[in-house]
Amino acid sequence: MPDHLPVVVVGAGIAGLTLSLCLARAGVRVTVIDRAQELREVGAGLQLSPNASAILFHLGLGSALDATGIRPEAIAIRDGASGRLILRLPLGEAMVERYGAPYIVIHRADLQGTLLAAVEQEPRVSLHLGVDIDSLQEDEAGVTVAGREAGQPVEFRGGVLVGADGVRSMVREKVMGGRPAVYTGRTAWRATFKAEGFVAQSFRHNETGLWLGRHAHLVHYAIDAGREINLVAAIDDVWNDDGWDVPGDPEQIRAAFARWPEPVRKLIAMPESWRKWALCEAPRDTPWTRGRAVLIGDAVHGMPPFVAQGAAMAIEDARVLSGVLASGTGGDVEERLSGFAEGRKARTDKVAAAARRNGRIYHLGGAAAKARNLGMRALGAERLIAGMDWIYGWRPPEG
């Protein structure tokens, strides 16, 4: 980054912290701003495919990720009507052999905590929490973020403004002129429970489960080094709450899966509490850049979670943008940001389209679901995995 001013990052989630760490390691100063008084990642588990884990391992975070995450041996895909196994896709060592990096499932808080601990060791990063932003300005001279921190007025100047503030991004709306997030017509229910003493025929400690059914699907896997089970249920719904993360009535989610096979009903009954999210996307016409401002992660391409690539795309964005900002000894910053956006948009659009397609396929019922199951079995595990090569095999450009 040739400018003498730091990069100002709004948002200290996975996208913002990964970018900050990458920039600092490349010699670039960073100011990170977040409205939260303390960083506490909401949600539950997430999946880190090899395209994302390779970046994090390159940053030296592999041991920390393995300490709290799990490398599942397989994904078992089952039919939500009959309970029968459709296909088992190998993960574990098969992922490392094929892509050179592992497939990891991990609690969001553990990933964020790992990134935060690494960022806090970087003298080039200045982290400011509890900041209420009043204004965001971008011009030819740089960017300015003004607000209040601990009740006192503050102002942050930078050479580039990065909006890494999630699918309901303030930067997208106030700086880019982008529109609010768009509801997808689906709700995600998330919960965790202690793994100790839990036994179900369909559940293996080191296997991810994916159940496909009419208007819904369920994912479950172990997190917290195997001490907890993470559940994510996605349901076709009309509920859309501005709070986006609210308590869910356990009876409501149990009723939604009341006719599913017994192993699913047992899983759904285990948690004492649930949280639910209205699943939203960033509008597809969202501008990625404006002058010296740029969006990354869910702020610009928030997508349905049906290829488990939301966090991965944010991590990829962070790695690529850090290379763009740290490269060269001159040149036009706006031009480089536009080049970053052009290069990333094609890929994230394709991944988002795959997620939407999976959402339709996962939620089929009746004869269409039977045809889906037969088609997956006919393809077989090897060809289905090969169909993910373009996602999992991606690596950052050199330089």
Which residues carry out catalysis?
Answer: 221
Q: How many CB atoms lie within 10 A of CB 289?
A: 20
**C-alpha span between 10 and 35 (Å, rounded):** 9
Exposure string of 296-317, with b = 16+ CB inside 10 Å and e = fewer, is: bbbbbbbbbbbbbbbbbbbbbb
Q: How far apart are the first and last CA of the chain?
A: 13
Strand 152-158 to strand 142-149: parallel, antiparallel, or no bridges (unpaired)?
A: antiparallel
Instruction: Name the DSSP letter for residue 162.
Output: E
Give the residue among 198, 182, 270, 181 at the shortest CA–CA distance from 233: 270
CB of 278 closer than 8 Å to CB of 190: no
**C-alpha span between 329 and 319 (Å, rounded):** 19
- Residues in contact with 25: Cβ distance below 8 Å, sequence separation at least 6, in sequence order: 59, 122, 322
- Determine whether 22 is exposed, middle or buried from the number of CB atoms within 10 Å of its CB (0-12, 13-18, 19+): buried
CB of 282 closer than 8 Å to CB of 167: yes
